[in-house]
Chains A and B, each alone.
Chain A
């Protein structure tokens, strides 16, 4: 279906078009890069590091630090994106270039020169808060006796983290990984606001954004609901497949079953 809003049955034509779409391959690779990087460095990685640090420092400081990390999440997305655009603009007074200035370096057009790191940072700062809350809650629910016993046995903080805390938060870790993978696959809001898929030739265009652009947002008002929907369907299928993979690999079934003993 296009802007004529005529429901014409075209069979699998839209899917066949996808195979010959010269842009689809590039957009798919972009999506993999975006999901993997944001997930690894922020939505799971940074979230875990923040949680571990903030539960091992004085409670008040830890709470304050975590509250700061929630700010991007509770800021309206357009305001948040604008703040980033101001911070990375080419002017020497913009935050990033102001810092470079201390080292005597020339101002950089960050969005043009390094679009991917910026896209990952923008999304990561928002995405880390979810995992941070889950991991912190999980870490805090570890009985204090385990930690005390380890300390009495002479374990260092690193050893406590490595041998006690991480194994005990394995389920939340796997759940957040699975959940955030699916969430990132379909997200495009901040990319739309910050780079709109650019600069250049589909540089940061991800699958969900490509689907949105084709279906709703083209200059001449051309809308490709049919093709856009077919692209979005691919995400649904990919999400289902990944869910099954995660279910099997992470053995999430064990997380869901009744506990073998009553706690």
Chain B
């Protein structure tokens, strides 16, 4: 018995060694050969430009080093607050850690004994925007505000008006040639308030309607028809009504459980349907928000019909769960259309709900179709921005904070964020970043920015949005008819005052 027991481990050991050797030989034979090292020469124009930018940046760091010399030795802590709430947007904070590491190396090379430390937070769900912003206001009032605060561009007006943040015009002028000349110009409009620039754009996005190609195929659509759908939407030949018809057909034939999905919580996406019916959100001349009666009537009717006539949106969608009622059904092919954002692609891939290959094979994307023939298709953008708080200035760290923002406003670092989270580039040079270019989805949706609208930068925008959300929730649940909903909506909007909203027919 003993002999038998002792021989077993030896046999296993010998088998293992033989297995490892065989594996190593097979692995060597099959593994791809290392690429032959070649010297890549950058185009001389780009190289010169890069050198010039680096020289300027170096000069700025040297200047800062001299300023910091008075601080002697030690650490300067920069407190940064950022939010996803989608987890793949983590580079909104991570990039600062990379930038600080880089900056510390430069400081060391320049002989400075000061080091920069990042005390950062990246908030993800279940923390949503409202909670995040409330945390900021309360932290600010208790003197514990972050130095750099990431928020939505629509907050610029009241953050500036109430003295939370500082204007950045002088800094931007100073660092213009380093990187800011490269920022896509429309984004500057989103960070202006009363003629001044109060923030630096961090990212932007588009909100497409995703569709399942596999389901359309089962409905009898040819590959060409499927490929042409985004173009038809662009030309206004496929409207919101067509969206309902196709979704209904898919549900009726039992190909999907749900025809159309939209977000399950409050947000700004619903305004796209209003815009698609020709509604206006913003009157640039008067600086007021706009309520277009005819467009809201049609929008409310559309949501009502989608739930109760066509039965393609669930009446419980608004009390649903992100995973069970939004991401899950669509990525599993149980829903045909999804009104989402570009970042959702990043979320699906990073969560493992879809691989890139599955996404490319089965998922298509298009603008939100025009409400009716003759109207235009739409999308909505909500650029996020980095601001510097007044408390950072009072603590004497605004210069360092801005340098860090400048360092993260870099085509390479911002592409980290854009590629991982499926947000769109903010710099022209980022569009030609090799990783960005490898992501066909980002290139494919870039045209949508030609059809985009920004959310109004008005202090009462949140009220407008809340009233719309609650009324839509009532329409979908069946609590309100479209007429009742319109009256509730109009009354609510009137309550915001004529100094805030223009009501037009």
Contacts and interface: CB of A to CB of B under 8 A. Distances in A.
B128 A219 contact: yes
Given A219-B266, A221-B462, A222-B462, A200 B478 contact: yes
A218 B477 contact: no
How many chain A residues sit at the interface, stated as a range, is: 20 to 34
A195 B136 CA distance: 27
Contacts of B471: 201
B475 to A, nearest CB: 8
Given A221-B137, A222-B130, 5 more contacts: A200-B477, A201-B473, A203-B479, A219-B465, A219-B469
A154 interface: no
B87 interface: no
Determine the interface band of chain B, counting residues with CB < 8 A from chain A.
35 or more
Nearest to A5: B141
A109 B492 contact: no
A8 interface: no
Contact of A112 (B130, B267, B319): B319
B199 to A, nearest CB: 16
5 contacts: A20-B495, A112-B316, A216-B134, A217-B134, A220-B462
B432 interface: no
Contact of A221 (B155, B318, B479, B491): B155
Contacts of B154: 220
B488 interface: yes
Nearest to A22: B491
A198 interface: yes
Interface of B: 128-134, 136-137, 141, 154-155, 158, 161-162, 265-267, 315-316, 318-319, 461-463, 465-466, 469-471, 473-474, 476-480, 488, 491-492, 495
A217 B132 CA distance: 10
Given A5-B141, A222-B463, A217 B130 contact: yes
Contacts of B265: 219
A221 B316 contact: no
A200 B318 CA distance: 8
Given A216-B134, A219-B466, A201 B315 contact: no
Contacts of B492: 22
A86 interface: no
Given A22-B488, A22-B492, A217-B131, A222 B466 contact: yes
Contacts of B133: 3, 220-221
Nearest to A223: B134
A3 to B, nearest CB: 5
A199 B132 CA distance: 24
Given A112-B316, A195-B319, A201-B473, A218 B466 contact: yes
Interface in A77-120: 90, 109, 111-112
Contacts of A112: 315-316, 319, 477
A218 B461 CA distance: 12
Given A22-B488, A201-B479, A201-B480, A111 B319 contact: yes
B477 A199 contact: yes
Nearest to A90: B316
